Amino acid sequence: MKILIIEDERDLVKDMISYLSGEQYRTETAFDFASAMEKISLYDYDCILLDLMLPGGDGFTILEALRSKNKQDGVIIISAKNSLEDKIKGLTIGADDYLSKPFHHAELLARIHSVIRRKQFDPSNQLIQKDLVIDLLSKSVKIRNESLSLTKKELDLLLFFIGNKGRVLSKSALAEHLSGDFADMFDSHDFVYAHVKNLKRKLNEHDYGQYLKTIYGTGYKWQL
Amino acid sequence: MKKLLDRPFKVFTIFSLVIFLMSIPVYFVVVDWIWRTELDDHNLTIRDRIANQLGQVEINQDDLESILQIWNSLQPTSFVIPLGDQKILRDSIYEITKFNEFEMESDRFRGLRSVIEINGEPFILHVETNLEEAYETLFAIGLVTFFLFLILVFGFIQLNKIISKKVWSPFYRTLDTLSAFDLSAGKEVSFEASDIEEFDRLQRTLSTLIASNVKTYSQQKTFIANASHELQTPIALLKSKLELLLQHQSLNEKESEMIQAIQIPLARLTRVNKNLLLLAKIENGKFEDLDQIDMGEMLDQSLELFEGYLEERELSFHKTYESTLKFEGSRFLVETLITNLFSNAIRHSPLGSEILVEGRQEMIVFKNSGKDPLDEAALFKRFAISTSETTSSGLGLAIVKEICKLSGWSIGYDFENNFHVFTLRF
């Protein structure tokens, strides 16, 4: 799996690569418009992270060039401009997702997973974690063939945990995943506890292993 | 408030009233004096004529007596009587009031007493002429003066109107332009040229003043926008580094807590910065892409995202809005408006209280429980502290206000039955 990060802020690129390091992704980078154009014309990527404001040009131009060549690379726009117009424009031209800065790496990783998953056309579309099987199309969750009834939020959280397995997820990252930009408006995100607690309880009821761990003082971690 | 032109008008009116009142006795004295001198002249002429004619005729003594008798009874305004023993050498003038039997009123007479000679004998001749009554003259003059005064005041009023309309019109237009001026709109004003020196100076001074204000304001706006824009990357990096730091296996409990503690002020910094950018964007923005917005649907969507926070604060939520609450607006602005009001209500509600959202045609009301009314004047200002709670960015309601201003809507605040009530009218 190949990911191209088009972003001029080198420090941020370094952090993204570092966060993605545990995954089976090979990352390449382009720090300006020209090198980005070169890379997309030479290679195919599974997912491209695209900043809109680049030295030497506009991210939209890159996206347009990509789609005019009929390339089906997944594209996630990461922009500092939190603007609805940009989002709509980006999605219309053919981006798969839009994430505004500043974002949690956990959120970015979850979005990358979901873009790549959509591009893979896996007919089964199942996510398997030991005894746990999640059917992504029907949104059903089973442990050893026993159905688990999860609320929408609990399922959301479960997918988020699995997508970020091995990483510590803070309360604010979880809250932002559930409430989007609204989470920015609050200092306390304690409601996340209740949802995670319920999720844990339901997993325990089916004798599922203790893979969802509480990291004291910081958050949670999914570890197989 | 008085109008500027009404002040001299009042003074002029009072002044002319005084002059008119003073003119009445003056006119009377003058007219009366003219009357008297004219009548005295007239009496003298008559005396001369009578003396002349009587002096020329030859009449014997007996006839003279009977003629004088007839004369005196027929000609009451002049009569001749023998001098007798009296010694009058000089003419004298007198005034006398006599009762007029025909008109049943007293008449004033101006008389001349003179000695004439008839047949060599001295006689006293009285010539009397009716003089206009003093009170009649006074009344006539008063009446005329009063009418003239009325005409004058009427003229003043009319002239005042015309002057204020014509001469002052550039001034009033300048005033209108000024009251319509909005600093935050960033547009300079242009005044109509005036050929009156004072107005021209006023307009030039105002133009300079406004131009420098507009410039300062837009510099300030640009500065804020640039500053918050420049802050975005460092904030994003801070957030990114903290998240990576969190992944370190070697973190002990204290260090984890420290990272957690850093995240809270960082979140607030993010929020303030984001709101500043949003404000700058709203102020500069042209939001012309209007959509048909289903308010009920939008409220339900934000409710879904806020659900967790409602649960956390144990708030009960009640909605009463019609499903047909639709109107036209910029989706981005309306969404921002709703989420700001919504999050505001959640943040400031006491634990376990309730939030009500009522939607009616053309208006939406957000109600949340509260103990004391908020300071309405400070409520919608930037960074104005209207509560003791410190969780707010101080910008949420300023953003709401700004959006309303831009879209021509209105937002009002009331405190009713222990509820903070925010009413949004479209």
- Closest by Cβ to B305, choosing from A102, A180, A194: A180
- Whether residue B305 and residue A182 make contact (CB cut-off 8 A), yes or no, is yes
pLDDT at A45 > cutoff 90:
yes
B56-73 pLDDT tens trace:
777 777 787 888 888 888
CA-CA distance, A220 to B253, in Å (whole number)?
14
pLDDT value for B167: 80
Task: Mutation target for A interface from B235, B239, B243: give the one with most A CBs within 10 A.
Answer: B243
- Closest by Cβ to B256, choosing from A11, A104, A218: A218
- Whether residue A153 and residue B308 make contact (CB cut-off 8 A), yes or no, is yes
B331: closest chain A residue by CA: A84
Q: Does any CB of chain A come closer than 8 Å to the CB of residue B292? A: no
pLDDT value for B389: 53
- Closest by Cβ to B244, choosing from A19, A80, A219: A19
Residue A191: phi and psi, rounded to 5, are -60, -25
Residues 6+ apart with CB under 8 A from B352: B313, B314, B315
DSSP state of A190: T
Q: Does any CB of chain A come closer than 8 Å to the CB of residue B301? A: no
Length of chain B: 426
- Whether residue A12 and residue B235 make contact (CB cut-off 8 A), yes or no, is no
Contact list, A195 vs chain B (CB under 8 Å)? 308
Q: ipTM surpassing 0.95, yes or no?
A: no
Q: Does any CB of chain A come closer than 8 Å to the CB of residue B314? A: no
B95-149 pLDDT tens trace:
888 887 777 778 888 888 888 887 777 888 888 888 877 778 888 888 998 999 8
- Whether residue B332 and residue A84 make contact (CB cut-off 8 A), yes or no, is yes
Q: Which of B163 and B21 is assigned the larger pLDDT?
A: B21
Torsion on CA atoms B213, B216, B220, B221, rounded to nearest 10: 60
| Cβ–Cβ under 8 Å, residues A179 and B305 | yes
Q: Does any CB of chain A come closer than 8 Å to the CB of residue B1? A: no
Q: What is the CA radius of gyration of chain A?
A: 18
B245-262 pLDDT tens trace:
988 888 888 888 888 888
B274-333 pLDDT tens trace:
888 888 888 877 677 788 888 888 888 888 888 888 888 888 888 887 766 777 888 888
Q: Does any CB of chain A come closer than 8 Å to the CB of residue B240? A: yes
B217-230 pLDDT tens trace:
889 888 988 898 88
**Among candidate residues B145, B143, B88, the one with its CA nearest the CA of residue B117:** B88
- Whether residue B232 and residue A218 make contact (CB cut-off 8 A), yes or no, is no
A62-85 pLDDT tens trace:
999 999 998 888 999 998 876 778
Contact list, A173 vs chain B (CB under 8 Å)? 243
- Whether residue A182 and residue B246 make contact (CB cut-off 8 A), yes or no, is no
- Whether residue B243 and residue A82 make contact (CB cut-off 8 A), yes or no, is no
Q: Which of B286 and B18 is assigned the larger pLDDT?
A: B18
The model's confidence at residue B195, banded by pLDDT at 50, 70 and 90, is confident
